[in-house]
Amino acid sequence: MTKGHSEAEAELKAFTADDDAAGARLDQWLAGRTAPELSRNRIKQLIEQGNVRLNGTRVTEPKRKVKSGDIIEIAMPEPEAPEPLAEDIPLSVLHEDEDVIVIDKPAGLVVHPGPGNPAGTLVNALIAHCGDSLSGIGGVRRPGIVHRLDRDTSGVMVVAKNDRAHQALSAQFADHGRTTEMERAYLALVWGTPDRMTGKIETFLGRSSRDRMKQAVVPEGRPDARHAVTHFRVIERFGDPSGAAPVASLVECRLETGRTHQIRVHMAHIGHPLIGDQDYGRSFATKAKVLPEPLRRSVEMFGRQALHAAHLAFNHPATGELMRFETPLPADMMELVAGFRRFHDRT
């Protein structure tokens, strides 16, 4: 067992391998069953530290093969959750007062510390930036995260600096603008173009059965199904000068609900995944091969999903004043859009 913990102190998780598990690596199979709570690296550590039993026998080899019917148990040590440390990470601050801070998050910055990202996050940066102006969330001096952007999504975020603001903002985000003035709008560069200029995508989302790290459109009756609604508006189409159908579009997406990866899943669901999205648009990657240089290279080298949180409006948690913030596309997306415009306008 991990040093300092006994099996009596640990939470025990048990799984029975199904027919599809036959021949899979133990660490890989367990990672698929425990994501996103545990990463594959964390699973590997637990196995190597003797925290996993296979049919009652402790195993320490992550590569051990699994057979149908195997019973796998993980003894989860008590979590070690040190408070995030302050780190001097530059921030683009759009607004700050005693209750909230609004920032323009760059792509590549993880919001909150977690497995695989113990430091170097937005939370670490905010602790350093805000200092004593953080009065505490839940009795701890830390910023209150009320909504998140994926690591590789850029754009506007608001963060609470005290419990009062945290509770008020959390209520607004939970309401999704139904009874408040909250608005969230994103700009996405997608493959192809929707068949209409405006529309609503309404589905149920849940964990993908093929990859538990991803979300998918699922039947309404599934236990983990969550209602998801996205409104979209096509802003600009980038066609082929030969007259063929547009190869890409700049689309505004407004959220009526806030599910994990919602825009990315919804746009892929209607056949127009985000450019650069390795999770939900990988099958479209070959479309770049028909593009002329240097646009082809720009698309192939674009290292993230082309998604930017461009607009955020909310009522200030203390004054009730409507606050609106907008940020332009970051340089990498601007360059990509410019490349498609040049492609569209060439003679």
Average pLDDT over residues 296-306: 94
Domains of the chain, first to last: 7-76 (3.10.290.10), 93-175 (3.30.2350.10), 184-345 (3.30.2350.10)
SS3 (DSSP) at 332 = helix
At residue 8, does pLDDT exceed 50? no
- pLDDT band, residue 139 (cuts 50/70/90): low
Q: Beta strands 154-160 and 183-191: pairing type?
A: unpaired
Spell out where 65-182 has E strands: 71-76, 93-96, 100-105, 144-145, 154-160
The fraction of the chain above a pLDDT of 90, given in percent, is 62
User: Is residue 238 within 8 Å of 340, Cβ to Cβ?
Assistant: yes
Q: What is the rounded average pLDDT for all residues in the chain?
A: 88
User: Is residue 27 within 8 Å of 45, Cβ to Cβ?
Assistant: no
Greater confidence, 280 or 7? 280
Looking at residue 5, what is its pLDDT?
Answer: 41
At residue 7, does pLDDT exceed 60? no
| Stretch among 74-83, 120-129, 232-241 having the lowest mean pLDDT | 74-83
Q: Per residue in 291-321, is it b (16+ CB within 10 Å) or e — as a string?
A: beeebbebbeebebbbbbbbbbbbbbbeeee
Average pLDDT over residues 127-133: 90
- pLDDT band, residue 4 (cuts 50/70/90): very low
Average pLDDT over residues 44-71: 90
Average pLDDT over residues 9-28: 81
Looking at residue 109, what is its pLDDT?
Answer: 96
Greater confidence, 79 or 111? 111
Looking at residue 100, what is its pLDDT?
Answer: 96
C-alpha span between 132 and 130 (Å, rounded): 6
C-alpha span between 248 and 344 (Å, rounded): 10
| Stretch among 5-14, 109-118, 228-237, 262-271 having the lowest mean pLDDT | 5-14
Cite the active site residues: 150
At residue 224, does pLDDT exceed 50? yes
At residue 200, does pLDDT exceed 60? yes
Looking at residue 19, what is its pLDDT?
Answer: 83
Looking at residue 6, what is its pLDDT?
Answer: 40
- pLDDT band, residue 132 (cuts 50/70/90): confident
Residue recorded with tokens 């940066």: 125
At residue 80, does pLDDT exceed 60? no
| Stretch among 100-104, 174-178, 258-262 having the lowest mean pLDDT | 174-178
At residue 113, does pLDDT exceed 80? yes
Residues 6+ apart with CB under 8 A from 217: 203, 204, 205, 265, 269
At residue 138, does pLDDT exceed 70? no
Average pLDDT over residues 160-184: 88
Looking at residue 17, what is its pLDDT?
Answer: 87
Average pLDDT over residues 13-37: 83
- pLDDT band, residue 298 (cuts 50/70/90): very high
